[in-house]
Amino acid sequence: MFAEIIVDIKTSYVNQCFDYKIPANLISRLKKGMGVIVPFGIKEHYRLGYVLKIKTQSVWATKQIVDIVDQTFFINEELFLIADKMLETPFVTKTIVYRTIIPSIFSFSYKKKVIIKQENLVPSEIKTYLKKKKYYLAFKDSLFNNVLFQQLIKQQILEIIIVLKEKYQSKQNWVYTLKLENLPKTTLTTKQKNCLQHFQEQAIVVKTQKEMFKFASTHIINQLLQKKIISKNKQNIRKPSPQIASSIVVSLPEIPLTTSQSDIWHKINSHCYQTYLLVYEEEHDKIAIYLKCIVDKIQQQKQILILLPEIILIQPLFDILQTKLPTIKIAVLHHQLNNENDWEQRQQISSQQVHVVIGNRSAIFVPLERLGALIIDAEHDDSFIEKEKIPFYDVRELAQTRAIYHHIPLILTSMTPSLESVYQIQQKKYQLLRFPVKSKKTKFHLIDMKEELKKGNLEPFSHILFQNLIKTIHKQQKTLLLINAKGFSSFLLCRVCSYIAKCVQCKQKMTWFLHKNILKCCFCHRQESFSANCPRCQQATLKSVSFGIEYIEKFLKEKLPLVKILRLDSDMLSSHKKYEKIITLLQKKNIDILLGTEMIVKNLAIPDFHLVGILMADLLLNAPTMKSSEKTFQLLTKITKYNNFTQPVFIQSYQSQHYIFQTLAYDDFKTFYQKALQERKLSQNPPFWFISKILISHKNFYQLLQIALNLKVHLQYHDQQPIKVLGPTFPKIKKKKNLYRLLLVLKYQTWPLHFQFIIEKNLQKEAFLIFDRFAHII
C-alpha cells in the first residue's frame, strides 16, 4: 500500500505531492487526512506531511512513512474541499494552503539539532552555548555565522540534523512516586514515616509537588529521595482528550419573537442550502434571530458557527448567548488565545461536545461534523478577507463551500450590506431578509468646510459644531466625535528645505504619534523616534502638515481643559480587557467626549450620545480604493445609531455635494446603492468584473520589466478567456527586501483563472509572483 503525501515544504519549487510506502504496522491505522512523519530530500531529514490519498500502486515510492503523528486533528473531506477552493488562486502552493487550514496548535516547528561526535575537539565556548540552547538551534541562529562552528561541521566533529518539535508543549509538573519495594530495606525517622503515611492512607502512590509540600518539608522529601523510598519525575498535565459525544441534548428556553422577527425567521429554510442577507437596524432584532437559530439547530442535534470581524466583538456576543441560553456549551476561537486554552477549546470541538463556535476569520476552518447553520456577522467588513499573508481568501466564499457541503443555510447579517451582496440579491442568488424601517429617522447637518475657510476659520471644527459641543458639555451630556485618521499627523514637512519624513524601507510618508513620540510607517510598521530637527538641513523646522486623532485630542484639551476626553482607536482596543475598561468608563459617565476612529462603529456596546460629530468626512472618501464611497457610506450610516435623536448628526466635509452625503441627508439608501453600482459597472469594477493584481519581484529591475511585459502579452492573448491587463506600474513600495517590484492589474469576468501555463512555460523565470486576488496591494 502507498500514500500520496503533501510534504511540509514552503518553497514554490516543491508544489507537488510525493508517494511513500506504508509500513505493514501502519496499514490498518493510516487514514486519509492524517498527519505523518516522512523522510525528505537527499539527507532524508524528517518532515511533517499529510495523507491526501491511499492507493494500491505507485511507481515513484522509494521511501517509507516513519510514523503517524499523535494528534487529534486531521483533515476531513470538507476541509479538503476548502483547500481545493483556495488552491484555485494562481501561484499558491499546496503546503501554504494546508498550513493555513491546520491550526498552529497542532503543527510542528523545525529545529536544527547539534550532535557532538568528538567532544574533546569542541571549544568550551561553543559547548557552553549549545548546552544553554539544549542543543536545539533555530534556522537563523547567530551560531551559524560563526566561522569556527562551520569548520567543526565540515570536519565532522559536529553534525546537524533537522528534527520536528511540537509547537504546543503541554505543561509539566513534578510528581513523586512511592517505591513500595524499597520500604523494608530502610530505617525511617518519625517524620519520614508520617510523610509516607499520607501515601498509604489514601492508597495513592503518586503525588504532585504541591500536594507533597502540604505534609512534608523540603528536607524530609530530599531524605526520602536519597533513600530511594520515593522517586521524582516530570509528568505532562495536559488534560486527556474528551470522549466523542454521540448527542448534545440540553434543556432550552422558548425564544419569544416579535411579529417582525417571527416573519423573518419563518422565511429561513433551515433544511437546505441558501444564502440569506439579513439587513437590520436594531441590534436586538439580529440577536433574536441568532438565538432562535441556535435553539432550533440544537433541538435538531446540530451545531452553529458564528464568525465575527473583530476579536473584541467575540466576548460581548458570548456573554449575551450564555446569559440567554445558560445550558449550552460555547467554544471561542481566535489567535489571541494562549496555547493551553486554544488546545482545550479545539479538544472540545473535535469531540463534538460544543453547540456553538464563535470566532473570527480563521475559525472558518474549524471542523464541525454536525454543522447546522453558518452565520457571518457584519458581512460587509473587510476583515473577512485575508489580505495580509498568502494565501488570500474571502471567508464568505469558503462559508458558501461549507454550507453547500452540509446543505445548510448561510446567514449574512449587516446594517449596511456590501455592494457585492446587494448585487447578489439583484441576481437572485441571495435571499433578502429585511426588518421594517423604523419610523424615527436620524437628521443630518452637512457643513461645507470650504465656506468655513472663506470666513477665516482655519481650525478643525466648524463654528456651529463647536458651539453645539460647548452647549452639550454645559448640560453634562456626552459627545461622540469621529475622525478616521490615526496619530497626530499623517506626515511631516520641513518648512526650510521641504524635506518629508519617509520610511527608509518602503519610502512612504511616516505618521507622527505624539503620545509615544514616534514616527511609524503604516505600510511596513517600522518605527523610529521623533525629532523636530530636519535630517537634511539640521534646522528644528520639521512640522506637521495634516492632522489626526491625537491632534484633535490636543486641540480639545487646550480649548476645553476641564473636559474629560477619551480617545478610542485600534491601538486602544487591542484586547478585550481594554475594551471592557472603556465600556465601563462610558457607562459610569466618567467622560464628556469620546473621540474615535472607525473602530467606534465595530458594533461596540456604547451608549447613546446627545451630540455626534464627524470631522474630515472626506478622509475615507478620498482613499485610493474603489470601495471608498461604499466604506464612507457604511461608516456614516452606522455611527448614527449612537445618536439619541435630540440633535442632528453634524458632518464636516469639503465635498458636501457628493451623492453620499445627499443620500444620507434624505435617508435614501436605495439611491445610494443604485448610484454606487452604476459607478462600478461603468468603470468595470466588482461586482460586475473581477479585479486582481500580479505582484512581480526580481533583484534586477531591467529583467523584472522584461518579464512583466512578456507576461502582459501572454495574458492579453490567453485563449481561455478575455483578460484586460493594465500596467506594469510601480506599487507604493517599489523595492522590498532588495527586490524591485512591479504590478500588473487584471480585469476579467469569470473565475477561476487558469494560469498553469505561466509556470509550465517558465514565463516568470527567476522572478517571484504573487497573485493578489482582491487587488489590495497598492
Terminal-to-terminal C-alpha distance of the chain:
50
Query: What is the Cα–Cα distance from 76 to 356, expressed in whole angstroms?
Result: 20
278 CB-contact burial (10 Å; exposed 0-12 / middle 13-18 / buried 19+)? buried
CA angle 167/172/175 to nearest 5° reads 160
Radius of gyration over every alpha carbon of the chain, rounded to an integer in angstroms: 31
Find out whether 537 is annotated in a ligand binding site.
yes
Query: What is the Cα–Cα distance from 418 to 18, expressed in whole angstroms?
Result: 42
Go through the chain and tell me how many residues it has: 778
φ/ψ region of 543 (left if φ > 0, alpha if ψ in -120 to 50, else beta) reads beta
Task: Quote the cell numbers at residue 312.
Answer: 473584541
Find out whether 17 is annotated in a ligand binding site.
no
Which residue type is seen at 213?
F
Task: Quote the cell numbers at residue 427.
Answer: 441576481
CB-based contact 411:305 (threshold 8 Å): no
For 369, 374, 421, the CA distances from 410, given in Å and listed in that order, are 16, 5, 13
Distance of CA 221 to the CA centre of its chain: 49
Task: Quote the cell numbers at residue 103.
Answer: 491550526
CB neighbours of 517 closer than 8 A, spacing ≥ 6?
Answer: 529, 530
Strand, helix or coil for residue 565: strand
Find out whether 506 is annotated in a ligand binding site.
yes
Find out whether 293 is annotated in a ligand binding site.
no
Find out whether 534 is annotated in a ligand binding site.
yes
Query: What is the Cα–Cα distance from 552 to 530, expressed in whole angstroms?
Result: 19
- Whose cell is 507576461? That residue is 711
Query: What is the Cα–Cα distance from 100 to 89, expressed in whole angstroms?
Result: 14
Peptide bond into 731 cis (omega under 30): no
Query: What is the Cα–Cα distance from 123 to 147, expressed in whole angstroms?
Result: 13
Find out whether 521 is annotated in a ligand binding site.
yes
- Whose cell is 484586547? That residue is 575
Q: Which residues are annotated as a binding site?
A: 494, 497, 503, 506, 521, 524, 534, 537
Q: Which residues are annotated as a binding site for Zn(2+)?
A: 494, 497, 503, 506, 521, 524, 534, 537
